[in-house]
A and B are shown apart, each in its own frame.
Chain A
Amino acid sequence: MSEVANSRPLLRATGVTKIFPGTVALDHVDFTLQPAEVHALLGENGAGKSTLIKCLTGAYRRDDGDILLNGEPVDPRGTLDAQSYGIGTVYQEVNLLPNLSVAENLFLGHQPTRFGMISGREMTRRARETLSQYGLDIDPARSLGDFSVAVQQVIAIARAVNLSGKVLILDEPTASLDSGEVKMLFDIIRSLRDRGIGIIFISHFLDQVFEISDRVTVLRNGRLIGTEDAANIDRVQLVNMMLGRELEHETRETGKTDLAPGAPWLEFDDFGKKGRIAPFDLKIRPGEVVGMAGLLGSGRTETAETLFGAVTHDSGTARSRGEEIELRSPRDAVAAGFGFCPEDRKIDGIIADLSVRENIILALQARIGWARPVPRRRQAEMAEDFIRRLDIRTSDAEKPVGLLSGGNQQKVLLARWLATNPKFLILDEPTRGIDVGAHAEIIHLIEELCAEGMSLLVISSELDELVAYSHRVIVVRDRHHVAELVGADITTDNMVDAIASAHNGSAT
């Protein structure tokens, strides 16, 4: 595609910056899209992909930077405005109206009229014409909800192309499609590309990225890591770009030496949940940090949720000190001495309107039951103690936790579980989206806790971090635990290799 790359870009964004309170979501990102190319946009959660898209389509006001479309500066004020410039977006969840007909969905807001009235016949005729271009032979008069997600996706694309026709942004279009549907979608994407449309393709599936893309741009932590021709880059390089080496200067090369082979106190045999994580075996020893690496959607979070009972396992057994335990709900897990700091703090973690004090004692209170409240003075002491120990920045313990910054919310969640004195703590992305200072503190805390004899399972996209504190690292791919690295084998290179090794022919 080098001849294409040399022509005048269709869309050029330079120095795009977006600042949210507390974080820089996009830091001077440059991005160019050529006509007639499929350009994949990659990055882990929080890397800035959707922020960039939203700045391009005007859904967010950017704080800095320029956007040129065909060489002309444009400043879309919203998705509708972006559409009129020729930039259309199709989201993962199809945002059409399932109760209206296919034709109405295609032309809503732009219905062909006759003497001022909507002409149903004309609309149906033109809808059929449009759909045939996409290889769809369906009745445009039927309601959209009757069709599969894949067909709805194509109709959403057809609508976006009809209305815009220069730039098409596809945000994880394949997330809920099977392999046949993905193939159909890719055929459509290729034919649109051949018509000269520039397509931005967002996906977590590396196979699909390599199959469809001409060029690849990787973002990480709001910064541009690089743009490469897909033909000139291999899977390992790509994973390296995505996960990167942020802390290189302060971390060691390999993981800690393996602990003396003590007896595991927690044993999970053949533990799994259909459709979420394939059955796996896991043994946890006291004072051990088990790291878990893998790309987004690979089954990392699913493993954690299954272990904690948030998702009830449908195969296998769990044993604690040799005795079988029930793990059917978070309550069971808490009773067994588990704790879980979830990835999405705002949705799964904090109780925003409750105070810092109440959030800290919540899990402890839930465990000892409503009838025996933790005395108010004891609550205040515990809150003060954790605020000091974890250096939680808050004006006082009675402040609603929702008003704290992300890093401090994360520390409050850690405090909530530490208050229950857990034996096994699961941390899902404990350092995501928090500033550098808090980041280092949390890593320090993890090492302290494991020195005190607590066992930890830490999920992280930051491979250097895993190298820094893990005794063992489990690599997850395609909802399977595929590799286990111990001691000197724990290196970022080994992890990247395990994550990137080709999927066994499964294209979805």
Chain B
Amino acid sequence: MSGTARFLRRIAPQLITLAFVLALISVMFPGFFNISIANGRLYGSPIDILNRGAPVALLAIGMTLVIATRGIDLSVGAVMAICGAVSAWGITQGYDLGSTLLMAVVAGLVCGLWNGILVSFLGIQPIVATLILMVAGRGIAQLITEGAILTFNDPNLIFFGSGSLFTLPMPVVIWIVTGLLITWIVRRTALGMLIESVGINLRASTLAGINSRVLLIAVYVTSGFCAALAGIIAAADIRGADANNAGLWLELDAILAVVIGGTSLLGGRFSLIASLIGAMIIQAVNTGILLSGFPPEFNLVIKAAIILIILVVQSPALRTGMAFFRKPRQTDVAKKETVTQ
């Protein structure tokens, strides 16, 4: 079987789910798929989903790699707040755009390095290790903004939140380019396989000569980098850094996106593209609820219900029973073969 066919089969459940959610919304809103161009930029609900989903999509990229190593990164929301605060502080202190972005990205990398060292050298469980920064991060962000919402008017920085490139909103360009770039790196090098190997069996991987420590640090640093980009976009979007609310609870949406994308929380096989589709599913649900005009207090409950349905439909128990989802993944098919033998 060719690689392309295997890839399509891998992401089929996510694509079908996304199509189903979008179809559901368009039944309620016949004009949902209308897209128009104004001032050299695309407008319309589908574009809005791509745009609003940018932070979660970016976080999901790093989170996928972390979860593939059998870890988890709870700090990404707080890291977004730190990096947003750094970029707002930099630009209001009069640094140029390049230096400001560099400082924000470096802040994200340092946060990732911190998590990585706690997990790989000190052997702290990832959920605890990253919880530290999840709690402390917002405090650090408040220290940077000195407790206030730090606003700015620099058009160059704002461009990252509301500008557009090739008719696409800038956040969309950023997450798609980052997603493709990191996918390309992990799949064109041996990194992807080594990450999966460490996630499946850390001890055996180390005995095979894999430098698991460096690899673990690398995935947390990548997660920090993605959170930095998401933080810059979030700050640029509201033209200010809100240490308390930027990225609040987004780590949970990112984890959810990875889970919907079919990567096991027990580590191992992962697909970045499937996680990105997962992020878009979450955003489509969010947007759909907003469009539906339900009272806002229903939103979270409805979202939870829809996600529960998605996860039940994708669960292995149901999957084995349904002919429709019978061949989504190589391993499941192989397991079934041995059962029937």
Contact = CB atoms under 8 A, between A and B. Distances in A.
Interface string B201-245: 101111111110001000000000000000000000000000000
A463 B330 CA distance: 42
A407 interface: no
B203 A362 contact: no
A363 interface: yes
A340 interface: yes
Contacts of A372: 189-190
A369 B189 CA distance: 9
Interface centre among B196, B204, B208, B334 (most CB of A within 10 A): B208
Interface string B314-341: 0000000000000000110011011000
Contacts of B188: 373
Contact of B330 (A331, A366, A395, A398): A398
A354 B193 contact: yes
B194 interface: yes
A370 B194 contact: yes
A330 interface: yes
Contact of A347 (B196, B204, B331, B334): B204
A24 interface: no
B197 A342 contact: no
Contact of B204 (A331, A349, A374): A349
Contacts of B137: none
A326 to B, nearest CB: 14
A472 interface: no
A32 interface: no
B331 A373 contact: no
Given A354-B193, A354-B196, A400 B201 contact: no
Binding site secondary structure of chain B: helix
A354 B189 contact: no
Contacts of A373: 188-190
B191 A370 contact: yes
Contacts of A395: 337
A416 B208 contact: yes
Interface string B49-74: 00000000000000000000000000
B203 A348 contact: yes
Contacts of B193: 354, 358, 362, 365
A335 B209 CA distance: 9
B201 to A, nearest CB: 5
Contacts of B335: 403
B277 to A, nearest CB: 22
Contact of B196 (A334, A335, A353, A367): A353
A366 B207 CA distance: 10
Given A347-B203, A351-B201, A354-B200, A366 B208 contact: yes
A366 B201 contact: no
B278 interface: no
Given A362-B197, A374-B190, A330 B208 contact: yes
B268 interface: yes
A372 B191 CA distance: 10
A366 B334 contact: no
B206 A330 contact: yes
Interface string A344-359: 0001111111100010
Interface residues of A, number: 36
Contacts of B197: 351, 354, 358, 362
Contacts of B330: 398
A352 B200 contact: yes
A367 B209 CA distance: 7
Interface string A55-69: 000000000000000
A330 B205 CA distance: 10
A334 to B, nearest CB: 4
Interface in B117-159: none
A235 interface: no
Contacts of A354: 193, 196-197, 200
Nearest to A374: B190
A507 B205 CA distance: 38
B189 A370 contact: yes
Interface in B170-197: 188-191, 193-194, 196-197
B269 A310 contact: no
Contacts of A365: 190, 193-194
A351 B204 contact: yes
A362 B331 contact: no
Contacts of B194: 365-366, 370
A371 interface: yes
A434 B324 CA distance: 39
Nearest to A398: B330
Interface in A62-115: none
B196 A363 contact: no
Contact of B205 (A335, A351, A369): A351
A351 B203 CA distance: 10
A399 interface: yes
Nearest to A367: B209
Interface in A366-408: 366-367, 369-374, 395, 398-400, 403
Contacts of B337: 395
Interface in A466-489: none
B338 A330 contact: no
B209 A363 contact: yes
B212 to A, nearest CB: 10
Contacts of A399: 334
B201 A362 contact: no
B191 to A, nearest CB: 5
A380 to B, nearest CB: 12
B196 A366 contact: no
Nearest to B197: A351
Given A348-B204, A353-B200, A371-B189, A362 B334 contact: no
B193 to A, nearest CB: 6
B207 A400 contact: no
Interface in A308-357: 308, 310, 329-331, 333-335, 340, 342, 347-354
Contacts of A331: 209-211
A359 to B, nearest CB: 9
Given A350-B201, A353-B331, A310 B207 contact: yes
Given A310-B206, A354-B196, 5 more contacts: A350-B201, A353-B269, A365-B194, A366-B209, A372-B190
9 contacts: A331-B211, A334-B208, A347-B204, A351-B196, A353-B268, A353-B331, A362-B208, A366-B208, A366-B209
